[in-house]
Amino acid sequence: MGFFNRRPAAADPNTATATGTHEPKAGVLNRNTHGAPAATSHGTAAHNTRPTFGQWIKASALDIVSMAVLGAIGLGVYMAKPAPSRSFPITFADGEIVYPQFAYPLRNEIVPIWAAALLAFFIPFIVFLICQIRARSFWDVNNATVGLLYSLIGAAVFQVFIKWLIGGLRPHFLAVCKPVIPVHLLPSQTQGNVRNGYLSVMYDRSICTGDEDEINDALESMPSGHTTAAFAGFVFLYLYLNAKLKVFSNYHPAMWKLIAIYAPILGACLIGGALTIDEFHNWYDIFAGAVIGTVFALSSYRMVYASVWDFRFNHIPLLRHSPFVYGGGPSTFDGFHDTVFTRKAGWGSHDGSAWSGAPGDASDGPRGTMPHAPHAAGEALGHGAANGRGTHGGVVGAGADNSMGTRHSIERRPVPNSRYGEHVV
């Protein structure tokens, strides 16, 4: 039956390999501690090793081209004139301003758009590097940085298209427009397309006498580019810190970790809120930008890490050349068990993660692993059999836990039940 067979020998403790108790690594920029490509206990190349520059370029070339193309498209749309020609009222017959919410004065921005974009990239990037004091993983830095760029560039292009094709009036639009209504015209008369709508009380931008560039900008209020960039970068950082500090996981963390992960969200809110003080955006522009940035941050993080919220996997960077397998139990072959910053409750060690499955996630089989090639005839392809711990395909313990790593079935037999007939177990 294999029930009394001994477990396989312990794996190589080098963390650049697949398993073992946490040991210090040579560093994020080194390929391994001995100058040769690291290998797992099964002889396959370790996943958590730095590739050569050529290998990285080959894997990332399409991303680099996509980012460059999207960046050029976004910049072109950003520089283009607003597509729609909006109509707006100015004053009532008694001279009262119809929409005073668009009559605020033009002021200097508290946080310029270039500063918001730089903050949204460099603050998270610096945090990624600081976390490598303990994580020390090339792929962690790579995936975090690439995912951050996914979020920032994707959200930026998304919002500039909305600005260009839909837009809206900024709070200081009338101050920038500086409309001059021809007093000699009767309400029924028109001068080009100056007056339109019911009783010709609506006007378009041809009534404006201000600076053309300022008018163009004042017609593209929704959504807020500042807020989009801030939330795209800082929500991504929030997710990264949550994964590295394991704030919402299987132990009781210190309060400072809660403050640390929400500090980026506070920064994003402050950047967005400042736009209501300098009268550059309406509240709904800011809300739309926050939604766009958050959606892209969530999507981008999930593209480059194994999970967004599941604390067992959300610190593990995904690789292009190998799929990630989900389940319950400690990591065996990927070498990413210590790519976390916290060392509390056993995190950072091979056996420190939870065995049980989280709600709504896979709990049958080993905890996240990278598939490995069979190294001997008769070796099972399932990780449950390979690590001698978890389950595989519903077969528990005895069938999967044997020295040769082979799979055995468990005999199923009918059990009588007076109420529902027979059950097969």
For residue range 11-50, list pLDDT tens digits in order.
Answer: 443 433 333 344 444 444 444 444 344 444 433 446 778 8
Q: Domain boundaries in the chain?
A: 53-304, 374-425
Assess contact for 395 and 383: CB atoms under 8 A.
no
Residue 346, Ramachandran bin (φ over 0: left; ψ between -120 and 50: alpha; else beta) = left
The C-alpha atoms of residue 417 and residue 68 are separated, in whole angstroms, by 66
At residue 174's C-alpha, the angle toward residues 173 and 178, to 5°, is: 120
Average pLDDT over residues 55-69: 91
Structure tokens at 398: 């005895």
Average pLDDT over the chain reads 76
pLDDT at 398: 39
Is the pLDDT assigned to residue 88 strictly greater than 50?
yes
Top pLDDT among 12 and 196 is at 196
Top pLDDT among 63 and 27 is at 63
pLDDT at 185: 54
Is the pLDDT assigned to residue 257 strictly greater than 70?
yes
pLDDT at 131: 92
Top pLDDT among 150 and 181 is at 150
Is the pLDDT assigned to residue 330 strictly greater than 60?
no
Average pLDDT over residues 178-184: 75
pLDDT at 30: 46
pLDDT at 404: 42
Is the pLDDT assigned to residue 353 strictly greater than 80?
no
Bridge partner residues of 39 (DSSP): 45
Structure tokens at 257: 């970790």
Top pLDDT among 83 and 104 is at 104
pLDDT at 90: 86
Average pLDDT over residues 222-242: 96
Assess contact for 14 and 20: CB atoms under 8 A.
yes
pLDDT at 296: 97
Q: Out of 49-58, 274-283, 299-308, 352-361, which region has the weakest mean confidence (pLDDT)?
A: 352-361
The DSSP code for 415 is E
Top pLDDT among 340 and 40 is at 340
Structure tokens at 30: 């080194």
Top pLDDT among 119 and 191 is at 119
Contacts (Cβ under 8 Å, ≥6 apart) of 365: 325, 326, 327, 328, 329, 382, 383, 384, 390, 391, 392
Average pLDDT over residues 250-277: 94
Average pLDDT over residues 124-136: 93
Contacts (Cβ under 8 Å, ≥6 apart) of 152: 117, 120, 121, 229, 232, 233
Between helices 138-165 and 283-304, what is the axis angle to 10°?
Answer: 150
Top pLDDT among 173 and 31 is at 173
pTM of the model: 0.74
Top pLDDT among 191 and 177 is at 177
Contacts (Cβ under 8 Å, ≥6 apart) of 283: 276
Nearest to 242 by CA among 227, 264, 225: 264
3-class secondary structure, 305:
strand
Nearest to 244 by CA among 144, 147, 331, 145: 144
Average pLDDT over residues 247-269: 93
The C-alpha atoms of residue 386 and residue 374 are separated, in whole angstroms, by 9
Q: CA distances (Å), 234 to each of 152, 221, 242, 359, in order?
A: 10, 22, 12, 27
Is the pLDDT assigned to residue 380 strictly greater than 50?
no
pLDDT at 197: 78
